[in-house]
Amino acid sequence: MTALTERIGTSVRRSLRRRSEEVDRRDRQPPALRTGPGRHEPRVLYLAPHLGAPSGGVRVLYRHVDVLRALGVDASVLHARPGFRCTWFENDTPVTYPDEVVLGPDDVLVVPEYYGPGLHTLPADLRTVVFNQGAYHTFDGIPLDAEPGAPYAALGRLEMLMAVSQDSVDLLHLAFPDLPVRRCRPVVDAAVFHPGDGPRARRIAFVDRNRVAERHQLLHILRARGVDREILPIAGRSEQEVAEIMRGSDLFLSFSERDGFGLPPAEAMASGCYVVGYTGGGGDEFFDPASSTPVRSLREFAAGVLEAVAWPEAERRRRGAAASERVLGRYHEAGLREDLQAAFDPLLARVG
């Protein structure tokens, strides 16, 4: 490669990186919202990114709206793109769009942490709740010379933060000690994610978004040790497809990293899959060493997988069943209903 060719290649890579960063900043800007006179009953609107690919975080936003409506709250999902709604999972959740909404002084806008860099553009008189499903990403895109307390210092009527795990609650309390933080637990849907009665293939499933270099090393180690398993990534599939794969797999590898909770390994456990891997932080509360193998390094990861594949199938099934019972017994809709009621009842009572 000539020096000129190398310089051109470097320039192209920099240009592509800048373009990607610009697209990311643009996508993380909240839409323009209108405020005006209030109505008799306050509404709760959950601002949600219009992502075409499956996203567990967006699925959680839809579920919150459904549960709040069951509690009698006037709640909807708010998508910036007119006509958009998520179709990769079944739902009849009410969806609205910015040109259809005028937010009153008693209404509440719930904003995901995804929009952190653009929170300063929201109307100053708007009651807001930040739903932080990724506490380890709170300051992504926030420059170090930003106002202390950014990005939340920019919100004039910030009512509270919500998080999905105790780990995230603790981290947010550490960063923002003066802000109220409430935990609203995730739901692992037992109607979708359950062990089933069918056979399990000699198959290892995983989500291939995080720790790419480490995953490459791990899979080579497993090949070198003669592990005879189908290797199947599950990212980008529908909720039903993921559940079917997990029900038919005997192992799930967790590459969780900086996760607020980590739904994929929890859903794998609920499906009776034996899980080996990283907790990502948020998963500390459901990775029980008696029914899974939490790890802290590549060495531990490889050793844990080799140990699990050496067990008799009945032992993996026994441990997978124990993990399923534990996860489904803790992360259910009744628990989320209780959490949301405790979070929003005082908030919606303070109107006028």
Predicted pLDDT of residue 54: 84
Predicted pLDDT of residue 124: 93
Lowest mean pLDDT among 38-42, 59-63, 101-105, 122-126: 38-42
Residue that is written with structure tokens 């009665």 in the block? 197
Lowest mean pLDDT among 233-242, 265-274, 281-290, 309-318: 233-242
Q: How far is CA 320 from CA 212, 222, 237, 266, in A?
A: 26, 21, 22, 11
Q: Span 324-334, mean pLDDT?
A: 97
Q: Please check the confidence at residue 7 and state whether its pLDDT lies above 80.
A: no
Per-residue pLDDT tens for 131-188?
999 999 999 999 999 999 999 999 999 999 999 999 999 999 999 999 999 999 999 9
Cβ contact 282:316 at 8 Å: no
Q: Span 59-82, mean pLDDT?
A: 97
Alpha-carbon gap, residue 311 to 291, rounded angstroms:
13
Predicted pLDDT of residue 15: 47
SS (H, E, C) 120-172: HHCCCCCEEEEEECCHHHCCCCCCCCCCCCCCHHHCCEEEEEEECCHHHHHHH
What value does the mean pLDDT of the chain take? 92
Q: Span 192-198, mean pLDDT?
A: 93
Lowest mean pLDDT among 30-44, 143-157, 213-227, 296-310: 30-44
Q: Span 227-233, mean pLDDT?
A: 95
Predicted pLDDT of residue 352: 58
22 vs 159, more confident: 159
Cβ contact 108:38 at 8 Å: no
Q: Please check the confidence at residue 313 and state whether its pLDDT lies above 80.
A: yes
Predicted pLDDT of residue 229: 95
**CB under 8 A, 24+ apart: contacts of 166-174:** 166/285, 167/135, 167/260, 167/281, 167/282, 167/284, 167/285, 168/132, 168/133, 168/135, 168/260, 168/261, 168/281, 168/282, 171/135, 171/136, 171/281, 172/132, 172/135, 172/138
Predicted pLDDT of residue 8: 61
What is the full DSSP assignment across 233-276?
E-TT--HHHHHHHHHTEEEEEEE--SBSS-HHHHHHHHTT-EEE
Residue ranges and CATH numbers for the domains of the chain are 32-187+333-349 (3.40.50.2000), 201-330 (3.40.50.2000)
Q: Span 275-281, mean pLDDT?
A: 98
Q: Please check the confidence at residue 276 and state whether its pLDDT lies above 50.
A: yes
111 vs 7, more confident: 111
Q: Please check the confidence at residue 249 and state whether its pLDDT lies above 50.
A: yes
Per-residue pLDDT tens for 26-64?
678 999 999 998 767 899 999 999 987 788 899 999 999
Predicted pLDDT of residue 193: 97
